[in-house]
Structure formats: structure tokens, C-alpha cells
């Protein structure tokens, strides 16, 4: 499978696949012309990468998951290294959630205040 086909099948771009390879996540052999050749298994790898990116992982964090898949596991997250990253990320996401809830409440309060203010002014003038 050439890079264009893998990109299309994985729903991404050739540029992206080269980027992943550059960062040691995706592997390819080369044909006589120097074109990248991909194993069918790479499709799953790319799928795993994109799924994890969607969850907010950085490429560096994704490496253990890919290694886990390559080791023959049915899923990328069942290996110890992956679990460690999962734990860290879960804690991180929880932190962001807490912080974001605080922000949300602040926004909500300010909005309520502003509306209250406007209501009072309206009662005075109307």
C-alpha cells in the first residue's frame, strides 16, 4: 500500500503520515522507486494515533500505545507503559475539567450579574 492509499483509508493526509513517521510512530518500507510501502497493520496504527490525538494526547505520549499494538496486543492501551500514560492523562484531564468548571461558573456569575444590572436599570427607567 502506498502513502496516498493509506492516507485515504485512514482519513488523513500523506503529509501527516510522513510527519508520524518522522516522529517514529508509523513504519514503512521502500520500493524500488523509493516510495513508502505500508503493511495493512499500519492502518490500525494510524487509527490508534488519530483516536488518541482526538483525546488530547501528544505524539510523544502515543508512542507506547503504538509499541503495544506492534507487540501483538489486541489493543494499544493494555500495556504497562500505556496504562501509565493513561493514568497521567486522566489526572490531567480531571485537572483541566476542574479548572474549566471554575471558569464556567465565573462566566455564568458575570453574565447573571450583567443581566441583573440591566434589569434594575430597566426598572428604574421604565
- Interface ranges with its own copies (CB under 8 A): 54-56, 75, 77-79, 82-83, 86-87, 89-90, 93-94, 96-97, 100-101, 103-104, 106-108, 110-111, 113-115, 117-118
**Pair 17, 7: CB distance under 8 Å:** yes
Give the shortest CB-120-to-its own copies separation in angstroms.
11
Subset of residues 44 to 103 that bind DNA, contact rule: CB under 7 A: 50, 53, 57-60
Among the listed residues 66, 49, 67, the one whose alpha carbon sits nearest the alpha carbon of residue 58? 49
Cell numbers 508509523: residue:
26
Displacement of CA 49 from its chain's centroid (Å): 7
Give the shortest CB-45-to-its own copies separation in angstroms.
17
Amino acid at each position: 500500500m502506498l502513502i496516498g492509499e493509506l492516507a485515504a483509508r485512514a482519513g488523513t493526509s500523506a503529509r501527516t503520515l510522513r510527519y508520524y513517521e518522522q516522529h517514529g510512530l508509523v513504519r514503512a518500507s521502500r520500493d524500488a522507486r523509493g516510495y513508502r510501502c505500508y503493511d495493512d497493520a499500519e492502518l490500525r496504527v494510524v487509527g490508534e494515533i488519530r483516536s488518541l490525538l482526538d483525546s488530547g494526547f501528544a505524539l510523544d505520549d502515543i508512542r507506547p500505545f503504538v509499541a503495544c499494538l506492534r507487540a501483538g496486543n489486541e489493543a494499544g492501551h493494555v500495556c504497562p507503559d500505556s496504562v501509565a500514560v493513561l493514568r497521567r492523562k486522566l489526572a490531567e484531564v480531571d485537572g483541566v475539567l476542574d479548572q474549566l468548571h471554575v471558569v464556567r461558573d465565573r462566566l455564568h456569575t458575570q453574565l447573571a450579574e450583567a443581566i441583573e444590572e440591566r434589569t434594575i436599570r430597566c426598572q428604574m427607567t421604565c
